[in-house]
Amino acid sequence: MMLDWLEQTISPPDASVRERALAHQAQLTKPAGALGRLEHVAVQLAAMQGCLRPEINRIHVSLFAGDHGIAAEGVSAFPQQVTVQMVKNFIDGGAAASVLSGFLNATLEVIDTGMATPVDDKRIIAASAGRGTANFLHQAAMNLQQLKQSLDTGRAAALRAKQSRSDLFIGGEMGIANTTSATALSCALLSCDTTQLTGAGTGLNTAQIQHKAALIEQALIHHRAMLHSPLNILQTVGGFEIAALTGAYISAASWQLPVLVDGFICTVAALLAIHINPGVKAWLLFSHCSDEQGHRYLLKVLNVKALLNLNMRLGEASGALSAVPLLQMACQLHNNMATFADAGISTE
């Protein structure tokens, strides 16, 4: 399938720059560790960018949209046509991701990875792998060619970010029923009970959440013979936009481009990317802990700490964009605070 790029060796962030950044932090006019995780993030970014003075000025946001056949089973509080309505909202500037991207002067691109109803608008990047995935309750969500195309779509987005000399890559998603797909993916990858990770998504009540969990369990049993590798799992119960996110994260890491991961669905894509290529993890920062039930569990499994916990569960890169000012402030503090020597302050 010509997917060798997924498993290529990924270089880690620059360890020597990390040590220099740590030494620099120790000389700033504050008690050691007094700025908490802002110090840690600045050092991480310095190592990722390979320079002692990291910057987050050029931000690239790729928002991948796709529909899911499993929506036919009543797993979302909203109808499938909301996907296309929200995509129009993204390009017209009315969505949360649009507002936050504008506020941060970030580049926002919207990519159709496979909506059930395509939108004829030149502001949308056309990369559709199909009119939505198949209903994975009955058959695999996508075929091998669709899987490859979706992964390649993510790779192309990361390449655009790299070629525009972005300091940070953010992936977002939109697709009614994609929390169902993301939950199925994480349950299959981690061998978890579906009730442990199945959440409210767009706002389901208790009975609807139980219905959603039961359907996911039924699908995983039906497909158990296929669920033997991350790519097989992604093909069987995944989504086009989740595959694109997975490809984007792997590619960004391979090109040494820092990634800020959004909420539950994006973290599932990150989990897939790490399972496919463990070298990806060192290039990921996790923006926030979503209110979606399974997200806290995934962050614990990955042994990572999110920067924020604001009870958000919107998706569409909104949580990641909300965390960008923290990264920028961490860089400003690291780069511009005086050292003890500069300020003539005694350390004895």
**Please, what is the average pLDDT of the chain?**
96
Q: Is it the case that residue 11 has pLDDT exceeding 70?
A: yes
The pLDDT value recorded for residue 347 is: 76
What is the average pLDDT across 49-68? 98
Is the CB of residue 175 less than 8 Å from the CB of residue 84? Answer: no
Question: Model's pTM, two decimal places?
Answer: 0.97
Active site residues: 316
Which pair of structure tokens corresponds to residue 333?
Answer: 């503090």
pLDDT at 294: 93
Task: Report, as an integer, the average pLDDT of 11-22.
Answer: 98
The yes-or-no verdict on residue 72 having pLDDT over 90 is yes
CATH class, domain 59-324, is alpha beta
Any idea where the domains of the chain sit in the sequence?
A: 59-324
- Per-residue pLDDT band for 1 (boundaries 50, 70, 90) equals low
Given this model, what pLDDT does residue 241 score?
98
**pLDDT, tens digit, for every residue of 286-337?**
999 999 989 999 999 999 999 999 999 999 999 999 999 999 999 999 999 9
